Structure 1
Amino acid sequence: MTRPDIAIVVVTFNSAGLVADLVASLPTSEAFTWHLVVADNDSMDGTVQEVRAQAPAADVVQMGRNAGYAAGINAAVLAAGRRDAYLVLNPDVRLHAGCVEGLLDALDQPGVGIAVPRLSDGLGQLILSMRREPTVVRVLADLALGAERAGRIGTLGEVVSDPRRYDRSTSTPWAEGSTQLVSHACWEACGPWDESFFLYSEEADFDLRAGDLGYSTRYVPDARATHLEGGSAGSPPLWALLQVNRVRLHRKRNGRVAALAFWSAVVLRELSRACLGRPTSRAALAFLLDPRRLREPAGPWSLEPGHGRSLLHPASR
């Protein structure tokens, strides 16, 4: 029986301090073969040199600019060539023993095109990684109840926040994009990740498109990984970009008229929180009320005043 052959694709940007621990966590199983491909978004801290020192056999794709997470994934998959599956990783992910085997087993199930593990943060706490498609009702539920409380009520919230749901294998409309194993068939059917998102909502777009084409995303609790997380919740520009890209995703999937209602709900939610003094929501309002940011593809200019070079690396997811 032929062993599955997978490409492990990682997107880096000023990630030199993360490379050694990532490489150390990569699998040693004889049940499958793998090859590491790193797409580097023009790092300035010696990331490329560190990758070559820690993983001499890896292929390194130098993007020549900070092209974003989706562009890096696409470039790495292209460089990897035909594989049975592609394991998309943030540089701050640490795989646990047996993680990849569990994800590969899930891909063998009928209709499954994407498999994702149970994620914990650096302190060992569960990361709420499963998501539902953004809708006006879910935004208003977040406004009225808060994301965590809404996520515990049936399918009301966008974030699946009941910890008990993370104890069993299940399908999810989409999952956070730090660790996703994508089958070759799913990748071929869905095409590349949408590079216009730069950062945030690109994994939602890909997973939801996969679902539209009959390739489900499967959450596998026995497959485990640690995601150290950079996080957007405390960063005004990152939170603002996250909200703008949510609106852009909704418009892409539902059209301009429906997106106007969704935009209005997001503005209302951020306004209510800006009135409580949250700088993240004040930044989000500024972005949401700027037609250019809603109209143009996101990019490094979205994150800093003066359209400067972004200081963001993919670990900020």
Structure 2
Amino acid sequence: MSVTEVRVAVVVVTYNSERLLPDLLAALGPGLGALSWHLTVADNASADGTVAALRRLAPEATVVEMGRNAGYAAGINAAVAVAPPHAAVLVLNPDVRLRPGCVETLLAALGTNGTGIAVPHIVDDAGALIPTLRREPTILRALGDAILGARRAGRYAVIGEVVTDDRRYARESVTDWAEGSTLLISRECWQRCGPWDESFFLYSEETDFALRARDAGLVTRFVPGAHAVHLEGDSRHSPKLWALLTLNRVRLYRRRHGLACTAAYWFVLLAREGSRALLGRQTSRAAVRDLLRPAKIREVPGPATVHSAR
């Protein structure tokens, strides 16, 4: 396969991901089917054997050694910058396992008029649906999450950001954004909306990109006939990661709304995390501490704060 002409540039960002690589790489061939593709990996200064394993298991891949823990968005941008010419970019987490034919189905969906990003139906390693579709963050949706919880609020478009109605995952649809573990991005979308915003370091970068694409008239399309497995990260269990995720939600909201609305959004998130902190949730306690420090919201997180593995 020539790396000068490919249909899909497969882009993966790694950080101490050695144990995940064999299964990830084994699933790429079946997942991309008859498509021509090339793998480019950006490694964020892994301390394990990630780079050596890549060179051994995938000798044809391009490996970009970032030299530092630069963040998820920076890794994606660096990988795309050196990828061969392509019709689409497939952004993958190292803990994603493509099912046969997944990317061919996604690529066909990119041909639908006005589609800039295509996303698959994703399950966890036990086969349970992962609700990956999202609505644009609003004050009312943050309030619904705070009062009812994300799953119950997500059944209703007005008050829920996470789309939790299983029926929505049985049919093709357009969504405001989708979680960023598996995204197929058209060349047009990347050229008009890229690169990803590196100031987020980790979390909300995919939200920002998808909303900017929507602003440019290019939607995110959910394709139920394309399938993948996501083993998922530890943001729900790590206080540092949960605090960063919460802070970046405020930072993203601030970029798209005025000061008064942002203050209201911040207050709702603070109330949500505060109520859960009172119940003893350590992740929420960390989020409250950071939400009460304005400098944290303005700060661009770096490797001293958190690692960049999802």
Q: TM-score when scaled to structure 1?
A: 0.93
Please tell me whether the aligned partners of residues 6 and 84 of structure 2 are also in contact (alpha carbons under 8 angstroms): no
1:266 to 249, 269, 279: 269
Aligned residue for 1:26, secondary structure, equals helix
Aligned partner of 2:92 in structure 1 is 89
Q: Which whole-Å CA distance do the structure 2 matches of 1:265 and 1:30 have between them?
A: 46
Please tell me whether the aligned partners of residues 201 and 308 of structure 2 are also in contact (alpha carbons under 8 angstroms): no
Aligned: 1:129 with 2:140: no
Aligned: 1:80 with 2:73: no
Q: Which whole-Å CA distance do the structure 2 matches of 1:168 and 1:191 have between them?
A: 28
How far apart are 1:313 and its partner, in Å?
4.4
Give matches, 1:184-203, under 5 Å: 184-203=187-206
Aligned partner of 1:43 in structure 2 is 46
How far does the alpha carbon of each residue in 1:236-291 deviate from its partner, in whole angstroms, 9 at most, with x for none? Answer: 11111100000000001113332111111111111111112211111100111112
Give matches, 1:122-271, under 5 Å: 122-271=125-274
Aligned residue for 1:8, secondary structure, equals strand
Please tell me whether the aligned partners of residues 6 and 38 of structure 2 are also in contact (alpha carbons under 8 angstroms): no
How far does the alpha carbon of each residue in 1:29-54 deviate from its partner, in whole angstroms, 9 at most, with x for none? Answer: 56421000000001111101101111
Q: Which whole-Å CA distance do the structure 2 matches of 1:226 and 1:66 have between them?
A: 26
Aligned residue for 1:302, secondary structure, equals coil
How far apart are 1:230 and its partner, in Å?
1.4
Aligned length in residues: 305
Please tell me whether the aligned partners of residues 33 and 101 of structure 2 are also in contact (alpha carbons under 8 angstroms): no
2:264 maps to amino acid: A
Please tell me whether the aligned partners of residues 118 and 185 of structure 2 are also in contact (alpha carbons under 8 angstroms): yes
Q: Which whole-Å CA distance do the structure 2 matches of 1:124 and 1:25 have between them?
A: 16
How far does the alpha carbon of each residue in 1:177-221 deviate from its partner, in whole angstroms, 9 at most, with x for none? Answer: 000000000000002000011110000000011000001000111
Cα RMSD after superposing both structures: 1.3
Q: Which whole-Å CA distance do the structure 2 matches of 1:206 and 1:313 have between them?
A: 18
Aligned: 1:288 with 2:291: yes
Q: Which moved more, 1:179-188 or 1:25-34?
A: 25-34
**Runs (4+) off by over 4 Å:** none
2:305 to 302, 307, 312: 302
Identity %: 59
Any gaps of 5 or more consecutive residues in structure 1? 304-311
2:223 maps to amino acid: V
Aligned partner of 1:17 in structure 2 is 19
Aligned residue for 1:49, secondary structure, equals helix
Q: Which whole-Å CA distance do the structure 1 matches of 2:11 and 2:157 have between them?
A: 35
Any gaps of 5 or more consecutive residues in structure 2? none
Aligned residue for 2:304, secondary structure, equals helix
How far apart are 1:82 and its partner, in Å?
2.9
Q: Which whole-Å CA distance do the structure 1 matches of 2:139 and 2:17 have between them?
A: 36
How far apart are 1:4 and its partner, in Å?
6.2
1:82 maps to amino acid: P
Q: Which moved more, 1:266-275 or 1:238-247?
A: 266-275
1:19 maps to amino acid: L
1:5 maps to amino acid: R
Aligned residue for 1:105, secondary structure, equals helix
Aligned residue for 1:189, secondary structure, equals helix
How far apart are 1:234 and its partner, in Å?
1.5
Change (3 A) 1:4 1:39: closer
